[in-house]
Chain A
Amino acid sequence: MKKLIILFLAGILFPIELPAQEISLKGKELFGDMRARHIGPALMSGRINDMEMHPTNTRILYAGTAGGGVWKSSDGGATFVPIFDDYVQSIGVVKLDPKDPDQTIWVGTGETWTRNSVSVGDGLYKSTDGGSNWNEIPGFENSERIASIAINPNNTDEVYVGVLGALWSDSEARGVFKTTDGGKTWEKILYVNPSTGAADVIMDPKNPNVLYASMWQFRRTAWGFNSGGADSALYKTVDGGKNWNKIHNGFPPGDLGRIAVQLAPSDSSIVYAVLETEDRTKNGLWKSTDAGQSWEHLNADFGLTVRPFYFSRITVDPKNPDVVVKGGLNGSISRDGGKTFKNLGNMHSDIHDITFHIEDSDIMYSGTDGGVYRSWNGGTTFEIVENLPLSQFYHISVDDAEPYNVYGGLQDNGSWYGPSSSPGGVNARDWNSVGYGDGFRVLKHPTKNIIYSEMQGAENVWRYDADRNRTKTIQPLPGKGDPELRFNWNAPMAVSNHAPDRFYMGSQFVHRSDNMGDSWTIISPDLTTNDPAKQDQSKSGGLSVDNSGAENHTTIFTIAESPLDENIIWVGTDDGNVQVTTDGGKSWNNVTANLTGIPENTWVYHIEASVHGKGTAYAVFDGHTHGDMKPYGLKTTDYGKTWTNIISDDIQENAFVRNIQEDYENENLLFLGTEFGLYVTIDGGKNWSHFTNNMPPVAVHFIDLQKKTNDIVMGTHGRGVIIIDDISPLRELNQSVLAKDVHFFKTKPFTMVEDSGFSGNFGAETQFVGGNKSTAARIVYYLKKRHTFGKMTMEVQDMQGNKVLTLSPGKSKGINVVNWNYNTYAPEMAQAKTLSFGGFTPPRVPAGQYKIVLKKGKNTYEHLIDLKYDEKSLTTLAERKEQEKFTRTLFDMVEDLAYTVYELNGIQNKAQEVMDKNPKGKKQAGKVYDALEALKKDLVITTGDNYVASAEPELREKMGDLYANVASSYDRISGAQKQNFELISEEWSDAKGRYQAIMDKEGKKFMSFLEKNDIAAPKLKSKEEFLKKD
């Protein structure tokens, strides 16, 4: 300690100036207190990849999600919390150490149900402290998707990892890996070839040297999928992976596809497999009763054979080898050892994993495309877990309502819109459905209460009249002589900035409608490469045809009309073309050849037409469907003739980019949506910072900037809508700001919002509730250094320097945000036996200018802010002023009473003292005590409690209630309030009279007794001192 003081002194004594040095414009400290808030929604949740049960504690289970990280439940699945928010959010498998399940958790990243829209993982992680901290296990960096982890229950240092591997390219980082030292070193013990990965790896828990591994040959491109080949096979080892043998005795000849394998925990000789073969009749469930030596085909029902790449999980009841469950469109359950199956009960479709409770097989947990479901009756009825905000947005947009709404479409969960803030927080019930199927782009008409939405491949495009609750389908349809229209799975649409009824859509052509989709005109030639090799989706899928439309290719993917000129329209295609027209579509300029550093045919994911210049635009490119994960982003200022790279090394090398959003004021401020979260630059792309404040590295598919609030709104593919409120401070950051010790950021005048609705929420106890945007004044400042030693305070003052309120300043290095609710101090209340509501009601300050005074050590920093009344106020300004004045009158009256009761108590205490100690004065003291007590009983409550044993209200309560009602009201003073005031004033005036009378009579005698007997008078604070605030 002493040393510290000396050190500080030493620093002050040697004031040597250093030459100015460049302060880095990046890093975590840049964002300081700016935190993202999550608004979900959770009502439709999102895709689950894997469920994991604790082996001994029935309260604990985990969900590994497709795009939203790892979630843990400690209450038997009633609620979940995220435990993997600092790492990649796409999860393949979660596994607990059988010996140390509370502390040691393994997570293999990268989802394994390989649909077109999957995210990617980046390796294997292990926690040894129950998920608080994680370490990446070296050696799996390129694994992309980890499907299985098997741990020897007798020696948990022995672990097998099944790596499915890269979906979009060849990779040698696949196969089965083994460690015998808890993960320090690994050996690849089963590998087939660069296109065949490990789909399932399971261990016989009774004999950990016995393992089964299914190897799967598979590949996805942007325009097709292939499951199966000569190299798919089911293997078994009985010597811990030294030797592997194919166990196909009974399987049909020919190629195999994805194979699911599972053994019955209660009888290891029973093994189930689900096959995808060349012979439809041989697909589905196979069973072995001799640990894989021979196989018998049992069932080829739809539920067992549907979409093997998406549904390939078998679960066997831990207590009964005849109860078998298979994931699928609806999920299937057999109670006769796999001979017959029925569907599981109603829940969200697409069931990827099912687990049984460890003690009661009636209880099941199901991981679906729409979250986690629980069953209490063996799978007949299911209920959803309501606090998993895993929604997977493809796209979002915002409107200009107050508060603004967020619109968006979701993987397998339709289209929705909901408010960015709502009374009590953004609840499930705040969201409105505006489309079926898979949802993608949802756009609000700029002026009318009309919403456009769509489903996959523009099979339906809806125009929804929200006021009249009417829907019309308006997708462009081919006319006579038109070729077949090719729409992307996620077909682009755009509304015009210049003509409100104008609406664009893209197939291979740009379609324009000037009447909200009633009729369409094609305004471009085919803008894609129109490569026929990428247009035959009828055979997509491999052994099982899977032509859902998800692989439609050579299509337009992004359309951007210039906000400055309606004739400038940019188009990007999924096969790599950037095209631009400057004459409203009469002629198109293919500028693809001018792109620099972008491999051919790289998906143009988004084009942002700039507000900073007609020829200025940003384009981002996503090569991951070619196995190229690199981030790509370019800027042009000359209509695409030349492009410059805006990506720096700060961005993770495999964080491919899907979206970019420019700031409308500062051209150098850009927001980049990548596979691993949000990046921000404040210098036009020279340096980028990863935004991580309450923002997991989740795939950001779309970003919008709400113009009025300056909020960044992100549609994430796995964590719903995430908002960063008011990013305007970032506009001001530059070298000179960063060099200052303290810098206050400019803020627009704050509106004191008068909303005062209700938010009852019974029945929503286990639901996710999204955070609201604060309506408080945001005081935003930059600190060059974290404040740790010495005092630092902040207060609000009026322009005369009177203290209005003390605030608690943030002390972080970087940006700090302090909220002020426009309140001043609550009144001092008269002391009583119970609490009065009035004492919890601080008055609001009037609109006007206020000083924020920050004191840090010896230095004082000041900043002015402006407050204004809500334009939607119910009152006139004169009425508001009258209410403020009336509030102040009542406030003073409440405090007058408080001081009177304080005085009265002080005298009573003295009287009590005299009664106790001084027999001579007992009579006089008693008189004054009793007289005051009688008065006090009319002033304040002296009996009862704060609940149902409460006493009748006395003057303090009546006065306090009136004060609180007037002070917290946003409306004019009511007649009833004025009448009530007259009554209370009169009572108060009477009471004061009574008090004076007592003091003139009994009080005077008592005081003179004290004086005569040299007893000190009651020691009382002055009124000013008594009422002093903090």
Chain B
Amino acid sequence: MKILKTLFVLLLIASVVPASAQTADEIISNYLENTGGAEAWNNIEGIKYAGTANAQGMTIPIEYYQTKDGKQLLKINLQGQEMTQFSFDGDKMWTTNFMTMLPEEADAEATHNMKNQAMDFPDPFVNYKEKGYTVELIGDETMEGTETFKIKLTRKPMLVDGVEEPNVTFYYFEKENFVPIATEAEVKQGPMKGQMLKDTLSDYQEVEGLYFPFAITMGGGQPVTMTEIVINPEIDEAMFAMPEVEETEDKK
């Protein structure tokens, strides 16, 4: 019965676009259509992702904000303390130093790359051409044990140690439903530089007519589970501003 259901779904999807001779554009347009439609994606002004990162025994609440005008912010909560892991107001990026718990401005290269990354909103494949991204269908591949289309997404080049490098991510779209179930990208910095890291995406669920993956495993190990995704959330613009550091300790 399960097999039939699968076949049936495949059959109907196949009738939308012929399964043979898929192009990258067709796959992407199927993806956007199946997850809410390009128009609905285009209408989003901002997204709040609330979830938890699980490290054996510790459940770390996280909140991630993204807006159409390029703002981004990631907050985590450790032992009741809220910390902004990074914030980007479209222009300036800052992070929190975990030793001093004080804000510090991110290096110029990270800020530059973040500015480009902000263009992803709300999804890299929405209006990818206008963003200056290119896509290429590499071919079929078995990923997560299942049949997928492998699509290469090239964003604007990123700066790595003072040099521009291509910014490439491979997306694996499950053939059965045209949603990405895994991505792979090369690590550009740090001791893992040069290695490919794989993220997996699953537990797609509907939020106001759009489908989002609610379970993400980063780099093959770190799982993040969404508890809530809010479309066009109320956003306190003040949180993006880099706080002033008080000169002396608060002796309240």
Answer yes or no: are A and B bound together in one complex: yes
Which one, B5, B163, B176, B251, contacts A12 given CB within 8 A? B5
Q: Are B168's CB and A129's CB within 8 A?
A: yes
Chain B residues with Cβ below 8 Å from A448 are none
Q: Are A788's CB and B202's CB within 8 A?
A: yes
Chain A residues with Cβ below 8 Å from B217 are 808
Q: How far is the CA of A807 from the CA of B54 in the complex (A)?
A: 8
Chain B residues with Cβ below 8 Å from A902 are 80
Q: Are B4's CB and A16's CB within 8 A?
A: yes
Chain B residues with Cβ below 8 Å from A74 are 193-194
A92, chain B: closest CB distance, angstroms: 23
Does B204 make an interface contact (CB < 8 A)?
Answer: yes
Sorting the interface of chain A by its residue count into under 10, 10 to 19, 20 to 34 or 35 or more gives 35 or more
Q: Are A129's CB and B2's CB within 8 A?
A: no
Which one, A741, A813, A835, contacts B79 given CB within 8 A? A835
Nearest CB in chain B to that of A947: its residue = B99
Nearest CB in chain A to that of B13: its residue = A7
Does B243 make an interface contact (CB < 8 A)?
Answer: no
CB contact list, B61-107 vs A, under 8 A = 78-81, 98-102
CB contact list, A207-231 vs B, under 8 A = none
Nearest CB in chain B to that of A23: its residue = B3
B27, chain A: closest CB distance, angstroms: 15
Q: Are B34's CB and A813's CB within 8 A?
A: no
Does B20 make an interface contact (CB < 8 A)?
Answer: no
Q: Are A790's CB and B1's CB within 8 A?
A: no
Does B16 make an interface contact (CB < 8 A)?
Answer: yes
Q: Are B78's CB and A7's CB within 8 A?
A: no
Q: Are B205's CB and A825's CB within 8 A?
A: no
Q: Are B177's CB and A788's CB within 8 A?
A: yes
Q: How far is the CA of A782 from the CA of B98 in the complex (A)?
A: 41
Nearest CB in chain A to that of B223: its residue = A808
Does A919 make an interface contact (CB < 8 A)?
Answer: no
Q: How far is the CA of A1 from the CA of B5 in the complex (A)?
A: 17
**A741 and B2 contact, Cβ closer than 8 Å, known pairs A8-B9, A81-B194:** yes
Does B214 make an interface contact (CB < 8 A)?
Answer: yes
Q: How far is the CA of A11 from the CA of B40 in the complex (A)?
A: 26
CB contact list, B23-50 vs A, under 8 A = 33-37, 40
Q: Are B203's CB and A792's CB within 8 A?
A: yes
Q: Are A1's CB and B36's CB within 8 A?
A: yes
Q: How far is the CA of A790 from the CA of B1 in the complex (A)?
A: 19
Q: Are A813's CB and B8's CB within 8 A?
A: no
Q: How far is the CA of A18 from the CA of B1 in the complex (A)?
A: 6
B146, chain A: closest CB distance, angstroms: 4
B191, chain A: closest CB distance, angstroms: 7
The stretch of A618-626, A721-729, A826-834, A1001-1009 in contact with B is: A826-834
Q: How far is the CA of A48 from the CA of B54 in the complex (A)?
A: 42
A135, chain B: closest CB distance, angstroms: 10
Chain B residues with Cβ below 8 Å from A787 are 202-203
Q: Are A18's CB and B3's CB within 8 A?
A: yes
Does B135 make an interface contact (CB < 8 A)?
Answer: no
**A946 and B100 contact, Cβ closer than 8 Å, known pairs A785-B6, A823-B57:** yes
Does B170 make an interface contact (CB < 8 A)?
Answer: yes
Q: Are B191's CB and A765's CB within 8 A?
A: yes
Q: Are A11's CB and B8's CB within 8 A?
A: yes
Q: How far is the CA of A812 from the CA of B223 in the complex (A)?
A: 15
Does B129 make an interface contact (CB < 8 A)?
Answer: no
**A811 and B202 contact, Cβ closer than 8 Å, known pairs A826-B57, A832-B79, A835-B78:** yes
Q: How far is the CA of A741 from the CA of B2 in the complex (A)?
A: 9
Over the window 23-36 of chain A, the binary record of Cβ atoms lying under 8 Å from chain B Cβ atoms (1 yes, 0 no) is 00001110010000
A638, chain B: closest CB distance, angstroms: 40
Chain A residues with Cβ below 8 Å from B9 are 7-8, 10-11
Which one, B12, B101, B181, contacts A946 given CB within 8 A? B101
Over the window 777-794 of chain A, the binary record of Cβ atoms lying under 8 Å from chain B Cβ atoms (1 yes, 0 no) is 000000111111111100
Q: Are A132's CB and B101's CB within 8 A?
A: no
Chain B residues with Cβ below 8 Å from A791 are 203, 205, 214
Does B232 make an interface contact (CB < 8 A)?
Answer: no
Nearest CB in chain A to that of B150: its residue = A133
Which one, A103, A831, A947, contacts B80 given CB within 8 A? A831
Q: Are B101's CB and A4's CB within 8 A?
A: no
Chain B residues with Cβ below 8 Å from A1 are 33-37, 40, 206, 209-211
The stretch of A189-197, A712-720, A836-844 in contact with B is: A836-844
Q: Are B101's CB and A945's CB within 8 A?
A: yes
Q: Are A788's CB and B98's CB within 8 A?
A: no
**A785 and B81 contact, Cβ closer than 8 Å, known pairs A102-B166, A808-B215:** no
Chain A residues with Cβ below 8 Å from B179 are 788
Q: Are B59's CB and A825's CB within 8 A?
A: yes
The stretch of B114-122, B137-145, B234-242 in contact with A is: B137-145
30 contacts between A and B (CB under 8 A): A5-B206, A8-B9, A14-B4, A16-B4, A17-B1, A21-B3, A27-B142, A28-B145, A29-B142, A72-B194, A74-B193, A75-B193, A81-B193, A132-B168, A133-B152, A785-B6, A789-B177, A791-B214, A808-B217, A808-B223, A811-B203, A812-B145, A823-B56, A831-B80, A832-B80, A832-B81, A839-B58, A841-B57, A933-B252, A1029-B59
Residues in chain B within 8 A of chain A (CB atoms)? 1-6, 8-9, 12-13, 16, 33-37, 40, 52, 54, 56-59, 78-81, 98-102, 138, 142, 144-146, 152, 163, 166, 168, 170, 174, 176-177, 179, 181, 186, 191, 193-196, 200, 202-206, 209-211, 214-215, 217, 223, 225, 249-252
Residues in chain A within 8 A of chain B (CB atoms)? 1-5, 7-8, 10-12, 14-18, 21, 27-29, 32, 57, 59, 72, 74-75, 79-81, 102-103, 129-130, 132-133, 741, 765, 783-792, 805-808, 811-814, 820-821, 823-826, 829-836, 839-842, 898, 902, 933, 943-947, 949, 1029-1030
In order of increasing CB-CB distance, the 9 nearest A-B pairs are A842-B57, A813-B145, A831-B80, A808-B223, A11-B5, A81-B194, A29-B145, A947-B99, A814-B145
